[in-house]
Amino acid sequence: MRYLPNGSQMREGDLYTIEHIGIPSMVLMERAALATVHVMEEENVNLSDVLIVCGSGNNGGDGFAIARLLNERGRKVTVTFVGAEKSLSEQAREQMQILEHLEIPVLDAIPEKGYSAILDAVFGVGLGREIEGHYKDVVEELNRTEGYKVAVDIPSGIDAATGNILGTAFHADLTVSYAFEKMGTVLFPGAAYAGKVVPVVIGIPDQALAQYQNEIVYTYNTEDLKTILPERKANSHKGSYGRVLMITGSKGMSGAAYLSAKAAYVSGSGLVQIYTTEDNREILQRMLPEAIITTYTSFDKKQLAELLKWADVAAIGSGLGQSEISEDLLIETVKYCEVPLVIDADGLNLLAEHIGLLKHVLCDVILTPHMKEMSRLLGCSVKELQEKRFDLLKDFVTKYPVTCALKDARTFVMTANKAPYLNTSGNAAMAKAGSGDVLTGVTAAMLAQGKAPQEAGAAAVYLHGIAGDMARDKKGCYGVLARDLIAGIADICEEQEEIENGTV
């Protein structure tokens, strides 16, 4: 697990390290500069003729220190200061004075020529306003100038919390991120401006962010798989891993039922029952004989109640349609379900018309909307949601007692009073019909095997994304189908089991 702080959290982490741990700011700056040079060398960046453009803050101080280190290594370095001298931070002023004592020139304008590499040290994580005027001209000139682009900590113009572009932004090929990667370079469009992001250790420990225990965003790495996958005990049976009820698939939508149910099985559920329209019975019995198939031709309140009592976990919505029967099934399930419930797809579109039901749920609920579905639940535009997703999602899970996995190129999983999860696995090959149905099944399986809602949602999203990465590596970005994600999950589980058993 690794943290993805925003700008204010990172500043507090710096302060904690300086004041409570006792590492001076200049030591942190020197370590940051050394780490940046090391990363550039490791990445084989051509450092024969380097332009470093510095601002007035500590990000500029990092840039001055990097210039000195490159000069010591015999590199040709051009240093330009584009900030206001009266606004120089104490550390930036000291670093600038060191350059002057070493007779390394600091220019006040960018020479018009190409460079082997260009380092952006203009603005750091504290930027909270749009870049305008002189600074906008500087950033746009850097983007136009020929040379491999390197951002110091974060590209200037990227909001460290949202990834939004603050008027304009430096377009980096490489970002060397200090202590932690920032949330703004994981979220789009910031991620597209950051290039390859390499976090480096400079002395700021995880404990420096401990005060944000339930607020700071985290993400998973492959090393976390051993804790993400539920334990399989030798002395167990199918009942040990949960009974999942999938209320899915309207006429002509048997595929959604099949994908979600099979994903639940492959992810570890002990028993899966599909509740679907009678039209789907024959095909589902052939496609997935492991599942129990129960059907309806009209809304049957008693039958639904019995099925909900049978289940340890329920999921509703994948391919459900938006007919009167579908609406009745959704309303009745949300009202009376007493076991953990996953709501997806058509279930969410129906729920948008009955959002008040969420205030009175009797169980843990996980919603898995994509951006359009979430905009309907919130009653806002997709554009507004994209720009303010973190705050809008936080408000939503505070208002309603649910966990929400907001699906996008970067998926957030959020529960009130729990640390938010931001997913970094997955890729564009997964943008195919049925992918969301698979996620529903994986999420239900995680719940069925005893994970709490926030933990289940984060684990499901991460596994789903890794499976997508494996599928893309095998079939390319165009050829991946939803069924390949299910196969990928099976491969991941097998590989992790082999690692734990010491056979690989």
Q: Structure tokens of 64?
A: 């001055």
Length of the chain (residues)? 504
Q: Structure tokens of 19?
A: 């004041």
pLDDT of residue 504: 60
277 and 251 in contact (C-beta within 8 Å)?
yes
Spacing of C-alpha 132 from chain mean position: 30
426 in helix, strand or coil?
Answer: coil
139 and 158 in contact (C-beta within 8 Å)?
no
45 in helix, strand or coil?
Answer: coil
173 and 137 in contact (C-beta within 8 Å)?
no
Per-residue 3-state assignment (H helix, E strand, C coil) for 233-295: CCCCCHHHHCEEEEECCCCCCHHHHHHHHHHHHHCCCCEEEEEEEHHHHHHHHHHCCCCEEEE
d(CA 363, CA 305) in angstroms, rounded, equals: 15
143 φ, ψ to 5°? -65, -35
Helices (H) and strands (E) in the chain, counts: 17, 18
174-178, strands of its sheet edge to edge: 106-107, 76-81, 49-54, 117-121, 148-152, 174-178, 196-200
pLDDT of residue 499: 85
68 φ, ψ to 5°? -65, -45
Please list the pLDDT of the chain residue by residue as tens digits (504 residues).
999 999 999 999 999 999 999 999 999 999 999 999 999 999 999 999 999 999 999 999 999 999 999 999 999 999 999 999 999 999 999 999 999 999 999 999 999 999 999 999 999 999 999 999 999 999 999 999 999 999 999 999 999 999 999 999 999 999 999 999 999 999 999 999 999 999 999 999 999 998 888 999 999 999 999 999 999 988 899 999 999 999 999 999 999 999 999 999 999 999 999 999 999 999 999 999 999 999 999 999 999 999 999 999 999 999 999 999 999 999 999 999 999 999 999 999 999 999 999 999 999 999 999 999 999 999 999 999 999 999 999 999 999 999 999 999 999 999 999 999 999 999 999 999 999 999 999 999 999 999 999 999 999 999 999 999 999 999 999 999 999 999 999 999 999 988 888 776
Q: Can you state the percent helix, strand and coil of the chain, rounding each to 5?
A: 50, 15, 35
107 φ, ψ to 5°? -85, 165
pTM strictly above 0.85: yes
319 in helix, strand or coil?
Answer: coil
> What would the pLDDT profile of 346-403 be if each residue is shown by its tens digit?
999 999 999 999 999 999 999 999 999 999 999 999 999 999 999 999 999 999 999 9
pLDDT of residue 498: 85
All domains in the chain, ordered by first residue: 2-213 (3.40.50.10260), 239-501 (3.40.1190.20)
What is the torsion angle, in degrees rounded to the nearest 10, for the CA atoms of residue 78, residue 83, residue 89 and residue 95? 10
d(CA 347, CA 416) in angstroms, rounded, equals: 22
d(CA 51, CA 268) in angstroms, rounded, equals: 54
At position 396, the amino acid (one-letter code) is F
Inter-axis angle of helices 301-310 and 324-336, nearest 10: 50
Tally of CB atoms within 10 A around 119: 33
